[in-house]
Structure 1
Amino acid sequence: MTDEAIWAALAEEFTADVEAARAELDEGPVPVVAVVGRPNVGKSTLVNRILGRRQAVVEDVPGVTRDRVAYDAQWAGRRFTLVDTGGWEPDAKGRAAAIATQAEIAMRTADVILLVVDAIVGATDTDEAAARVLQRGGKPVLLIANKIDDQRLEPEAAGLWSLGLGEPFPISALHGRGSGDLLDEILKLLPEMPEDREPKAGGPRRVALVGRPNVGKSSLLNQLSKDDRAVVDSVAGTTVDPVDTLVDIDGETFHLVDTAGLRRRVAQASGTEYYASLRTQSAIEAAEVAVVLLDSSEPISEQDQRVLTQVVEAGRALVIVFNKWDLVDEDRRYYLDREIDRELKRITWAPRINISALTGRAVQKLAREIRTALDGWEQRVSTGELNQWLAALIAAHPHPIRGGKAPRILFATQVDIRPPRFILFTSGRLDPQYVRYVERRLREDFGFIGSPISITVKAREKRGKPGGKPGGKK
């Protein structure tokens, strides 16, 4: 029996386990349903009703929800993401404008939109403005006539035909009346595959420029675009909204997004900074690769570490750029090398490049590092090759014996790319140190340069002992 036949037989044996593990890991994109409307019409109450639990904050005061909040939802075996939004109002100012912006982002990125209207109050000028926006958007829209608590109030919903979004759907989010029928209707509108979750083949790769304030993100964007595309100022925090532009770097077009500087965790930010942080986080999640800028003339800070962690946790390809190299002298280079060894030791896999956005030094080399990171992000190892490599690795460096025996790795497979995700099926729990060793050797032997790697360990239950823990006592 050839090696290929052996691995094919093993793969067939573990097929059910792999599919179950994929489901547990929440594999694949899911459709998005956005709940929008003016303040205090019952959006969060409807979200809680659809979720079947009190998840969204509800209070009898307009404007309690201030940003987009996504929840995992399910109905009739179909999963989707439900997005609760703050109250949308046209021509809003200040914080209300930031709240409205989040609602508009939800409208653009959703597959289905639920416009919630207070049927007892009737259609307001704000409702009419929202309807006009949604009519132009071209997305499937369900008009929800909320607060129809009993059959006697159903005629109130008829007046909402004037919004031009079709037949109003009468419900009571508070009491649950009509919610099951509404969910059935939502499922009819959901696409089989969500739109625009993955970049279109052949289109410009999406690159997010991120980093703490005043590290030179806008200066780099302007240098690459050969234009004053973004406002540059020595005052930290000039950029608030993400700035998108197409730029040509080394003969290839990239879609660059300049983002607001991340000062602190989103939960700890406030005011404009809070919403800027949310939009930056969304830009990272929408990107394929994040270029994280560090100020090479200053020590690597906790803020820098936090930005890098955010990119890694988002599963995006990563390139680290040390900007302001024109300000670095020999002494600073000496200390910077030691800071890199100490502070960046857990992400040695990310490509690094030294540039000066001000003078243009080495900025064209950025394209090469972006391509390298994207190649690692999309790299796949075949099941046969992976298991042959793993068998040799285990023979040379077996798992330490714990409690008189060592767990065995029975089978391994790569279940996804972008980023690469692996599952190890074992006879028992693996030490975290051994899993890190496997990841380190994966990188040494296969590359995956510029990409985070996810390794999940699935311990198989012993046959003949249903319900028993793997390796557990009777």
Structure 2
Amino acid sequence: MTEEGPAVLADGDTGTGGDDADDARPVQPVLAVVGRPNVGKSTLVNRILGRREAVVQDVSGVTRDRVAYDALWNGRRFTLLDTGGWEPDAKGMQAAIAAQAETAMRTADVILLVVDGQVGATAVDEAVARTLRRSDRPVILAATKIDDSRGEGEVASLWRLGLGEPHPVSGLHGRGSGDLLDIVLDAMPSSPRDDVDLEGGPRRVALVGKPNVGKSSLLNQLTGETRSVVDAVAGTTTDPVDSLVEIDGETWKIVDTAGLRRKVGQASGTEYYASLRTKAAIEAAEVTVLLLDASQPISEQDLRVASQVAEAGRALVLAMNKWDLVDSDRRHAMVRELERALVRFPWVERVNISARTGRAVQKLAPAMRTALENWDRRVPTGQLNQWLSEVVAATPPPVRGGKQPKILYATQAQNRPPTFVLFTSGFLEAGYRRFLERKLRETFPLIGTPVQINVRVREKGRRGGRGR
């Protein structure tokens, strides 16, 4: 709650007016970008998008999941699917990354194989090419890192991959990218295949929490497939991963995000850009599911994440994960921790789940629906002012500077989240504004959503001209 006028209320509002139009976009054909690790796929993706979306760093294996982006070229829209590096006979995490790339190939309308033009075709590239030659999808071959004409002579050797003409391109500088996109669009159907699941219109959910708390495991549990790479190593997810998931008969758009660091300034390289993507995912979401590890004490980092979600004005559900690992002593201790730690967030609904076993995961959808209903809620002005007069009559504002401020009236300026403006004759102490918020929540159903109460002090009259 801030001491601001109504002009501040528009700041950060992403929930009014344009949401429905944005979500109702048509289904689009899909271009999957595949190749072995560190050939420059994500750099080329950023070049195609015309903005820095995919996380890029000069080490292999930065992209680990398949990540979808909306792309536009020459008036045609399509979905660009960035994938992890494809390696045959991979083990462990690399095997999971390879499976993501293979899934992308099965669900795409056109496949773009990216090869390092400076290195030439490796044994891994040849193995990928053999797989792609058996595909019934159009396959286009791109030779990256060809920054000038001197490198084009080496590209001819890529004909031996049996995928047709290799197209030289520089993802870093953009050289040849326009010609490559023209070729992609020529091969792309006007509409996607029937089995591509890319609907529009679901409510948007962000999964957030510190690294290794179980976000990707929860997403995989909800989808019933290995949608996100899961590994015991913290920080496996670096890009936000979008999934359309049906829960309790309703489709939701869920984004699995990278674990948030304590401060963006402490992150570097991949983690820095991943933290920015996670922030953007929270701001683009309507409701956020914050996962906490129920088997571990609540950390300051967990509270920072909750504060970030609340400051972004998003609905919030708290999921206590790994409940199957919690004994009775830990449950008692956790209740006390929650009372102390979440004193700033008494309005958050909590659900105890196990992403590993699927325990109580079905309870998430009702909690998210409740949070969203209250996030969307509008309180009629008449009811609001009747409530306000009763509260003020019972507990007037404290005297300040020898004068007691009067609350003249209130109005709800917007929803998403519910934002109220109090017009007063003087300053209201922060403690009294918190008291009003608490009373407001007792009267109106506002579980699961932050509430903003802004105060506008009436200027003292200037009814006559000065000096009269």
TM-score, length of structure 2 as denominator length: 0.61
What is the CA-CA distance between 1:91 and the residue it aligns to?
12
Is the partner of 2:456 in helix, strand or coil?
Answer: strand
Letter in 2 for 1:303: Q
Q: Does 1:26 align with 2:10?
A: yes
Matching residue of 1:392 = 390
Matching residue of 2:135 = none
Note closer, same or farther for the CA distance 1:381–1:467 as it changes in structure 2 (3 Å cut).
farther
Matching residue of 1:345 = 343
What is the CA-CA distance between 1:23 and the residue it aligns to?
3.2
Note closer, same or farther for the CA distance 1:132–1:23 as it changes in structure 2 (3 Å cut).
farther
Note closer, same or farther for the CA distance 1:410–1:225 as it changes in structure 2 (3 Å cut).
same
Q: Distance in 2 between matches of 1:448 and 1:204?
A: 22
For structure 1, the residue ranges without an aligned partner over 5 or more in a row are 1-19, 32-65, 67-84, 99-103, 109-123, 139-200, 469-474
Note closer, same or farther for the CA distance 1:458–1:236 as it changes in structure 2 (3 Å cut).
same
Q: Distance in 1 between matches of 2:177 and 2:382?
A: 54
Q: Distance in 2 between matches of 1:450 and 1:390?
A: 22
Equivalent residue for 2:419, pick from 411, 418, 421: 421
RMSD between aligned residues: 3.8
Is the partner of 2:302 in helix, strand or coil?
Answer: helix
Q: Distance in 2 between matches of 1:97 and 1:206?
A: 28
Note closer, same or farther for the CA distance 1:92–1:427 as it changes in structure 2 (3 Å cut).
closer
Q: Distance in 1 between matches of 2:53 and 2:258?
A: 24
Contact 2:283–2:314 under 8 Å retained in 1: yes
Q: Distance in 2 between matches of 1:293 and 1:452?
A: 18
Q: Distance in 2 between matches of 1:296 and 1:255?
A: 25
Contact 1:355–1:361 under 8 Å retained in 2: yes
Superposed structure 1 runs of 4+ greater than 4 Å apart = 27-31, 85-93, 95-98, 104-108, 127-138, 465-468
Q: How does 1:75-94 map to 2 (within 5 A)?
A: 94=58
CA displacement, residues 118-150 of structure 1 (integer Å, 9 cap, x when unaligned): xxxxxx973555656998999xxxxxxxxxxxx
What is the CA-CA distance between 1:331 and the residue it aligns to?
0.7
CA displacement, residues 45-100 of structure 1 (integer Å, 9 cap, x when unaligned): xxxxxxxxxxxxxxxxxxxxx9xxxxxxxxxxxxxxxxxx99879997628999xx
Contact 1:423–1:457 under 8 Å retained in 2: yes
Equivalent residue for 2:221, pick from 214, 220, 223: 223
Q: How does 1:242-257 map to 2 (within 5 A)?
A: 242-257=240-255
Paired residues, number: 319
Q: Distance in 2 between matches of 1:403 and 1:367?
A: 49
Letter in 2 for 1:307: V
Equivalent residue for 2:203, pick from 183, 205, 227: 205
Letter in 1 for 2:7: A
Matching residue of 1:326 = 324
Note closer, same or farther for the CA distance 1:324–1:90 as it changes in structure 2 (3 Å cut).
closer
Note closer, same or farther for the CA distance 1:92–1:258 as it changes in structure 2 (3 Å cut).
closer
Matching residue of 1:152 = none
Letter in 2 for 1:25: L
Letter in 1 for 2:307: T
Contact 1:95–1:271 under 8 Å retained in 2: no
Matching residue of 1:74 = none
Letter in 2 for 1:368: P
What is the CA-CA distance between 1:317 and the residue it aligns to?
0.3
What is the CA-CA distance between 1:25 and the residue it aligns to?
3.2
Is the partner of 1:353 in helix, strand or coil?
Answer: strand
Q: Distance in 1 between matches of 2:359 and 2:280?
A: 30
TM-score, length of structure 1 as denominator length: 0.61
Q: Distance in 2 between matches of 1:466 and 1:308?
A: 50
CA displacement, residues 239-292 of structure 1 (integer Å, 9 cap, x when unaligned): 111111111111111111111111221122111110110111111111110000
Q: Distance in 2 between matches of 1:273 and 1:459?
A: 44
Matching residue of 1:365 = 363
Contact 1:95–1:272 under 8 Å retained in 2: no
What is the CA-CA distance between 1:211 and the residue it aligns to?
0.2
Matching residue of 1:410 = 408
Is the partner of 1:380 in helix, strand or coil?
Answer: coil
Q: Distance in 2 between matches of 1:87 and 1:381?
A: 40
For structure 2, the residue ranges without an aligned partner over 5 or more in a row are 18-42, 44-48, 63-67, 73-168, 186-198
Note closer, same or farther for the CA distance 1:407–1:288 as it changes in structure 2 (3 Å cut).
same
CA displacement, residues 199-234 of structure 1 (integer Å, 9 cap, x when unaligned): xx9921111110001111011001111111111111
Is the partner of 2:235 in helix, strand or coil?
Answer: coil
Is the partner of 2:10 in helix, strand or coil?
Answer: coil
Matching residue of 1:306 = 304
Is the partner of 1:410 in helix, strand or coil?
Answer: strand
Matching residue of 1:274 = 272
What is the CA-CA distance between 1:399 and the residue it aligns to?
0.7
Note closer, same or farther for the CA distance 1:88–1:467 as it changes in structure 2 (3 Å cut).
farther
Letter in 1 for 2:209: G
Letter in 2 for 1:328: V
Q: Distance in 2 between matches of 1:94 and 1:467?
A: 68
Identity of matched residues, %: 58
Is the partner of 1:346 in helix, strand or coil?
Answer: coil
Contact 2:317–2:368 under 8 Å retained in 1: yes
Q: Does 1:451 align with 2:435?
A: no
Note closer, same or farther for the CA distance 1:466–1:23 as it changes in structure 2 (3 Å cut).
farther
Letter in 2 for 1:345: V
Q: How does 1:6-17 map to 2 (within 5 A)?
A: none
Q: Distance in 2 between matches of 1:379 and 1:296?
A: 31
Is the partner of 1:339 in helix, strand or coil?
Answer: helix
Is the partner of 1:25 in helix, strand or coil?
Answer: helix
What is the CA-CA distance between 1:449 and the residue it aligns to?
0.8
Note closer, same or farther for the CA distance 1:271–1:400 as it changes in structure 2 (3 Å cut).
same
CA displacement, residues 430-450 of structure 1 (integer Å, 9 cap, x when unaligned): 011001101111111102110
Q: Distance in 2 between matches of 1:380 and 1:295?
A: 34
